[in-house]
């Protein structure tokens, strides 16, 4: 193996970020000047969440390190302890792998376990999807903290690029390349309805919703009432639904238990999946009538498929949204009205010419652009010696 290849270590924590990172991983793997390293952690290693590490390997990647940090707990204390466990294991893994750059995406709390050891070991961190806001979740804090620990930034839009620069980062190292997860819509052949129905063992005729609801982690103790309200509204709406699991956040397991019970009581109307995988998930987005919940995929991927989204609560508050997103509170009345609007012909007709704000290039090349920058960017010692870019310097208040 040539010793002068730049080693790029990609950290993936779950089915969600893997679906966004996969295309970048392919670009790195296929470039002869680069060496891909893959670290799988968090929900990937948990049977409870589908042991999705196997999906990474089925896609042809080698997992160079497995960092087991997910504790069997549904509490904030359990999440905090898992960060500590992960930090110790990541220190060993990164010391062994010796990457030239470590790539992380998004705002999962598990990222703390990766970025702190990387900083201490002098490994430059590249952060994808920085500069966004999600005011109802601790993700808001995690994302901005990772931005300050990172030296190379790949926000999805120009507005998010401006926000990263506003945080004092060097503009020459902040690149608005688009959302890499959208590359899948350009590169994958999505399933036709009959094939998808066979895979799901579920009839997609009529009005069918794709539902994903994650805990709103800054609203402590709210998950039980919220998911009860959502399930009641979906039941009253008459739509049939495919549910996917909530993340391994505090009270996520409670949400999943309630959804599982709900689906098992109505097997002809609802299905619950631990993990659909990228291809089936995107295929469901294309074939379903609407999305319901608070997943970021309703904001990032759904606009490209002209899919109406009923976005519940504050988890995505502050993010850029296209015209397909219908914001509602977590009340039966608002959710039912949102579903009715999403299903109405007049609303759906308005989405015909809609542009996706996360896909400015519309050609599936975001991962290639990110890879090219990672391949050539300066990673000398001065990369880690960041100078805070003060926007108020010399009285130039902006």
pLDDT digits (tens, 9 = 90+) for 47-81: 877 788 999 999 999 999 999 987 777 788 888 99
Predicted pLDDT at 15 = 85
109 in the same domain as 220: no
Predicted pLDDT at 246 = 87
Predicted pLDDT at 393 = 67
Count Cβ atoms below 10 Å from residue 136 Cβ, excluding itself. Answer: 21
Is residue 359 in a domain? no
Inform me whether the pLDDT recorded for 135 exceeds 80. no
291 in the same domain as 379: no
Inform me whether the pLDDT recorded for 243 exceeds 60. yes
For 352, counting Cβ atoms within 10 Å of its Cβ (0-12 exposed, 13-18 middle, 19+ buried), the class is exposed
Predicted pLDDT at 3 = 60
226 in the same domain as 104: no
Mean pLDDT across the stretch 336-359? Answer: 96
240 in the same domain as 172: no
Q: Read off the pLDDT band of 396 (50, 70, 90).
A: low
Backbone angles phi and psi of 39, in degrees to 5: -115, 125
Q: Single out the residue of 236, 242, 282 nearest to residue 259, CA to CA.
A: 242
Residue 299 · residue 325 · CB < 8 Å: yes
Is residue 122 in a domain? yes
| Three-state DSSP state, 151 | coil
Is residue 216 in a domain? yes
Is residue 358 in a domain? no
Predicted pLDDT at 366 = 96
Query: For the domain that residue 34 is a member of, what is the CATH number?
Result: 3.40.50.2000
Inform me whether the pLDDT recorded for 8 exceeds 90. yes
Query: Which two three-digit tokens encode residue 346?
Result: 């007049």
Inform me whether the pLDDT recorded for 240 exceeds 70. yes
Predicted pLDDT at 398 = 46
114 in the same domain as 230: no
Inform me whether the pLDDT recorded for 394 exceeds 60. no
Inform me whether the pLDDT recorded for 16 exceeds 90. no
- What pTM was computed for the model? 0.89
Residue 345 · residue 361 · CB < 8 Å: no
389 in the same domain as 263: no
Is residue 357 in a domain? no
Distance CA 386, CA 364 (A): 32
225 in the same domain as 101: no
308 in the same domain as 231: yes
The mean pLDDT of the chain is 92
153 in the same domain as 291: no
In the chain, what is the straight-line distance between the N-terminal and C-terminal CA atoms, in Å?
Answer: 50
Predicted pLDDT at 395 = 55
Is residue 360 in a domain? no
Mean pLDDT across the stretch 213-231? Answer: 87
Distance CA 29, CA 23 (A): 10
111 in the same domain as 71: yes
Predicted pLDDT at 4 = 87
Mean pLDDT across the stretch 282-311? Answer: 96
238 in the same domain as 148: no
247 in the same domain as 171: no
* Of 139 and 25, the one with more pLDDT: 25
Is residue 296 in a domain? yes
Total domains in the chain come to: 2
Mean pLDDT across the stretch 322-339? Answer: 97
Inform me whether the pLDDT recorded for 337 exceeds 70. yes
Distance CA 128, CA 146 (A): 10
Spell out the alpha helix ranges (H) of the chain. Answer: 15-29, 53-58, 76-97, 111-120, 139-149, 158-166, 183-187, 193-200, 223-237, 252-264, 277-287, 297-300, 332-343, 345-349, 366-376
- Name the residue range of residue 331's domain: 187-349
């Amino acid at each position: 193996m040539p010793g002068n290849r730049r080693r790029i270590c990609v950290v993936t924590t779950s089915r969600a970020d893997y679906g966004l990172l996969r295309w970048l991983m392919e670009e790195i793997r296929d470039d002869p000047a680069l060496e891909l390293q893959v670290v799988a952690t968090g929900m990937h290693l948990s049977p409870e969440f589908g042991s999705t590490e196997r999906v990474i390997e089925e896609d042809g990647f080698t997992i160079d390190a497995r960092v087991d940090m997910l504790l069997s707990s549904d509490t904030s204390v359990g999440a905090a302890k898992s960060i500590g466990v992960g930090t110790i294991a990541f220190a060993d893994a990164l010391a062994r792998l010796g990457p030239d750059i470590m790539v992380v995406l998004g705002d999962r709390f598990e990222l703390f376990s990766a970025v702190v050891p990387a900083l201490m070991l002098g490994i430059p961190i590249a952060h994808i999807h920085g500069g966004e806001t999600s005011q109802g979740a601790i993700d808001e804090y995690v994302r901005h903290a990772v931005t300050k620990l990172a030296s190379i930034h790949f926000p999805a839009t120009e507005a998010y690029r401006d926000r990263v620069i506003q945080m004092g980062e060097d503009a020459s190292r902040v690149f608005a390349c688009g959302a890499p997860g959208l590359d899948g819509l350009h590169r994958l052949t999505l399933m036709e309805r009959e094939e998808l129905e066979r895979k799901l063992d579920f009839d997609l005729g009529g009005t069918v919703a794709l539902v994903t609801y994650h805990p709103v982690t800054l609203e402590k103790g709210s998950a039980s009432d919220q998911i009860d309200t959502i399930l009641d509204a979906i039941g009253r709406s008459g739509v049939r639904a495919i549910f996917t699991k909530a993340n391994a956040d505090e009270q996520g397991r409670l949400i999943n238990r309630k959804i599982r019970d709900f689906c098992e009581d109505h097997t002809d109307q609802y299905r619950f999946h631990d993990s659909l995988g990228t291809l089936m998930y995107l295929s469901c987005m294309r074939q379903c009538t609407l999305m319901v919940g608070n997943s970021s995929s309703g904001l990032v991927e759904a606009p490209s498929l002209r899919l109406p989204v009923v976005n519940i609560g504050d988890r995505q508050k502050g993010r850029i949204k296209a015209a397909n997103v219908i914001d509602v509170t977590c009340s039966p009345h608002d959710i039912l009205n949102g579903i009715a609007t999403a299903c109405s012909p007049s609303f759906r007709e308005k989405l015909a010419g809609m542009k996706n704000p996360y896909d400015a290039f519309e050609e599936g090349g975001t991962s290639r652009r990110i890879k090219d920058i990672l391949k050539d960017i300066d990673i000398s010692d001065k990369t880690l010696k960041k100078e805070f870019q003060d926007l108020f310097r010399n009285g130039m208040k902006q």
